[in-house]
Amino acid sequence: MKERPDRPYSREDLIKAINSLDNSIPSEGRSAGEYLHQLNIRTENLEGKRVLDLGSGSNLNLARQLPEEGIQAEVISFSPGFYHGKTWNERAERADEARTLTVAGMAEELPFADGSFDTVLAFYVTIYLQDSKRIEIAISEMIRVLKPGGAAYIGPIFVLDPVRKVRGIDTNTI
């Protein structure tokens, strides 16, 4: 069992720990292989399925790389980033990449009908939601858009809000 420190953590220790968490979160470049491995995704929950990739990032790696993993799926890439600048559809260099469907929006208000997807993936999404209430709403939305018997893969789960509310830490400076 790990012993507790002799003194409480200082403000600087907490800020350093929080910053190291923030800086370790990949914002882009997650490969399809990373999704499969880190979320422990079962291939049968993707093959031939309609998949919602929440927080896909503008590189759309999951949608583009699943066929390289031998998996054929209809992937809808969803990210608030598609509001800003060009979407992948506008940047695509190859015709097959241009057919990838991208949708802009927030995880707490998914613009899809109930039961629209066989599988929902949320890889490194919760860190950007910033508090447990927003995470709860987003997970409720994920469940709503899943078909009966569908699967949701969410991870890792990060809730930094309680840590940031520690007395003496100005969350605007972190």
* Domains of the chain, each with CATH number or no CATH: 30-173 (3.40.50.150)
Q: What is the pLDDT of residues 5-19, one digit of tens each?
A: 555 666 676 666 655
For residue 153, pLDDT over 50 is answered with: yes
Give exposure, 53-90, as e/b (b: 16+ Cβ within 10 Å).
bbbbbbbbbbbbbbeebebebebbbbbebbeeeebbee
> Measured between alpha carbons, how far is 160 from 174 in angstroms, rounded to an integer?
11
> Measured between alpha carbons, how far is 57 from 87 in angstroms, rounded to an integer?
10
At 41, the amino acid letter reads: I
Q: What is the pLDDT of residues 30-78, one digit of tens each?
A: 677 777 877 788 888 899 999 998 888 777 778 888 888 888 999 888 7
DSSP classification of residue 174: -
pLDDT band at 165 (very low <50, low <70, confident <90, very high): low
pLDDT band at 87 (very low <50, low <70, confident <90, very high): very low
- Enumerate the β-bridge partners of residue 79: 104
> Measured between alpha carbons, how far is 157 from 39 in angstroms, rounded to an integer?
11
pTM to 2 decimal places? 0.67
> Measured between alpha carbons, how far is 77 from 52 in angstroms, rounded to an integer?
6
Q: What is the chain's alpha carbon radius of gyration, rounded to the nearest angstrom?
A: 18
Helical spans, DSSP H, in 95-160: 95-98, 126-129, 132-145
- Asked if the peptide bond before residue 5 counts as cis, ω within 30 degrees of 0, the response is no
For residue 24, pLDDT over 60 is answered with: no
